[in-house]
């Protein structure tokens, strides 16, 4: 396994992070336990979850994933071996504290206390804001439209002040963002510096061969400010494993179960790009999914890539990607395809 520093903290996290969002929906507790056992044995010391999970978000599965992880900690008595990340949900979901703005003192404290109970721990290593409260672009939205008279949202300084109190209480160690923009990250970092408040250690945004938009703006901030990317969807919801090629729709797959949630991956350019990347993998005797993951891991603005698997076969293959030798000519070929099919799935 490979490791990197989480921001400028003293934590060394594995460059493979175990994603958990399918546990409690596509995966049972028993399967979640098996995945955690195996990942930890392979040197994966970084797990990511969220109060919102399991996915797709539903009232009856809210908090289920955290509960599974908490039961595993209780069963294995190994909390200290895991660097644990979770998230407070943003606004918009009525069954989570009424659905309004979430990043005020009352909601932040309620959210962290409930996550701690479900996770059966007394601290979170990395606590993240799942998506912005303000109106901006995330989850693949394009065409930013600014509103001068936008709805109210908790300002960055007030959020950092509350999180600082929670850190001082010993409930969280470090903080991060998710689905954030370059402007948002830079504002948080500026206020942290000028007001001597907690720094943002990471940003959890999508990054994969079909969506390299993080390289525009955010990558520079991540490197210069030591606030690295935790790349989610590194296989573009399984598209970059090749299992959906030629119109295939395997039983039990996310696309078959929840395909209407992923319209961004159904464009003609995405299909064409996948075929070209697949050819590169085959020509160089590489496993397609492993090649796709290793390309992400090699980026110097990335701290860790978050893998999510519904089978042990997938998990084992994905973790082995750390051992892949991606030669310079392969990377050059990948970059040539990116020029032809530029970010077909932003």
Distance, CA of 95 to CA of 114 (rounded, Å): 14
Q: Is the pTM of this model over 0.85?
A: yes
pLDDT tens digit sequence for 126-167 = 999 999 999 999 988 888 989 888 889 999 999 999 999 999
Residues spanned by the domain of 23: 3-241+292-326
CATH number reported for the structural domain that contains residue 203 in this entry: 3.20.20.100
Domain assignment present for 111: yes
pLDDT at 261: 66
Domain assignment present for 281: no
The answer to which of 180-189, 198-207, 223-232, 247-256 has the lowest mean pLDDT is 247-256
Q: Is 232 a catalytic residue?
A: no
Domain assignment present for 18: yes
Domain assignment present for 344: no
Domain assignment present for 87: yes
The set of residues, in sequence order, having a beta carbon less than 8 Å from that of 3 and lying 6+ positions away, is 12, 13, 14, 15, 45
Domain assignment present for 287: no
More reliable by pLDDT, 249 or 308: 308
User: Of the residues 38, 53, 123, 174, which is catalytic?
Assistant: 53
Average pLDDT of span 207-214:
98
pLDDT at 140: 86
Domain assignment present for 137: yes
Distance, CA of 70 to CA of 285 (rounded, Å): 40
Number of domains composing the chain = 1
Q: Is the Cβ–Cβ distance between 25 and 63 less than 8 Å?
A: no
Domain assignment present for 301: yes
């Amino acid at each position: 396994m490979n490791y990197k520093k989480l921001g400028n903290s003293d934590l060394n996290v594995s460059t493979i992070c175990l994603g958990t969002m399918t546990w409690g929906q596509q995966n049972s507790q028993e399967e979640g336990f098996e995945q955690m056992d195996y990942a930890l044995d392979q040197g994966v010391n970084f797990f990511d979850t969220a109060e919102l999970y399991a996915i797709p978000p539903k009232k009856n599965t809210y908090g289920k994933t955290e509960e599974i992880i908490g039961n595993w900690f209780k069963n294995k008595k190994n909390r200290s071996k895991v660097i644990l990340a979770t998230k407070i949900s943003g606004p918009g979901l009525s069954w989570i504290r009424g659905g309004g703005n979430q990043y005020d003192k009352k909601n932040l404290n309620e959210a962290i206390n409930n996550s701690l109970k479900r996770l059966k721990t007394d601290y979170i290593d990395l606590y993240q804001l799942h998506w912005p409260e303000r109106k901006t672009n995330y989850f693949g939205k394009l065409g930013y439209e600014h509103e001068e008279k936008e709805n109210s949202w908790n300002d960055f300084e007030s959020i950092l002040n509350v999180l600082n109190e929670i850190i001082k209480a010993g409930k969280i160690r470090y903080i991060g963002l998710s689905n954030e923009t370059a402007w948002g990250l830079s504002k948080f970092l500026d206020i942290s510096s000028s007001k001597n408040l907690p720094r943002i250690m990471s940003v959890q945004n999508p990054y994969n061969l079909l969506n390299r938009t993080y390289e525009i703006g955010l990558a520079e901030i991540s490197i210069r400010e030591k606030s690295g990317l935790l790349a989610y969807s590194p296989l573009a919801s399984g598209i970059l494993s090749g299992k959906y090629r030629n119109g295939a729709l395997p039983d039990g797959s996310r696309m078959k179960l929840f395909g209407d949630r992923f319209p961004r991956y159904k464009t003609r350019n995405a299909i064409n790009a996948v075929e070209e990347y697949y050819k590169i993998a085959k020509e160089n005797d590489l496993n397609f999914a492993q090649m796709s993951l290793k390309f992400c891991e090699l980026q110097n603005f990335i701290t860790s890539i978050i893998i999510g698997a519904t089978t042990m076969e997938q998990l084992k293959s994905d973790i082995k990607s750390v051992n892949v030798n991606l030669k310079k000519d392969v990377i050059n070929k990948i970059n040539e395809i990116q020029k032809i099919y530029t970010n077909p799935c932003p």
